[in-house]
Amino acid sequence: MSRALFERLDGRGRIFLVVLALLCLAIAVGNLAFEPDSAFYVPTYIVSLLGKYLTYALLALSVDLVWGYCGVLSLGHGAFFALGGYAMGMYLMRQIGSRGVYGHPELPDFMVFLNWQELPWFWYGFDMFWFACLMVVVAPVDGARCEPQALFEFLVPRMAHFMLPRYIRVVDELPKTPTAKVRKHVLREQGVTEATWDREDAGIRVTRDGVSR
């Protein structure tokens, strides 16, 4: 498999791998073959730090290859991991309680700082560990439909007026290349179709002062 991947690399990719291998070899030689007072000596902590960086890079590349083959699918899995991390983070924030900077028994510190008066409904239950663990593994239902106007209404209180989209089109699948990357030029060529929702046609006006219907 390694040979097959190497053969698919272009000239620049092969040069990069060779330089990386030589750099790793030079670091190892600098740590083992030279005395600490030498200008070519590489401290042990530098070797350990670079080893951690390479390990994390290898892990990230492995996940990308296995789950997405260097495509958008891996970003989707990354989003699921991020949502799980946020879910556990919400649980940890709730556990701080009155021990926080502001000493509020229910609201996390950042909510008190932003002058929130009550806990949002989607934070309910995150004071229980079993509920947080359940939210970590929950995934959206396959086949669920997203209504464009409902999505727009969801975005209104969460985005600045100039960021609200005018056009929304829901598709079953994005056009992709054989390596699972989105063919953005195809989407641009399709443009606004009959299936595209237009907020102007829906009678919604967005101005600096807010959204009017």
**Could you give the CA distance from residue 32 to residue 188 in angstroms, rounded to a whole number?**
56
Name the pTM for this structure: 0.41
**Could you give the CA distance from residue 35 to residue 173 in angstroms, rounded to a whole number?**
60
**What integer best gives the mean pLDDT of the chain?**
82
Q: What is the helix, strand, coil percentage profile of the chain, to 5?
A: 55, 5, 40
Domain boundaries, the chain: 2-67, 73-137, 148-212
Note the maximum CA span of the chain.
76
155-201 pLDDT, tens digit each: 888 888 888 899 999 888 888 887 777 888 888 888 888 889 999 99
68-88 pLDDT, tens digit each: 555 555 555 566 677 788 888
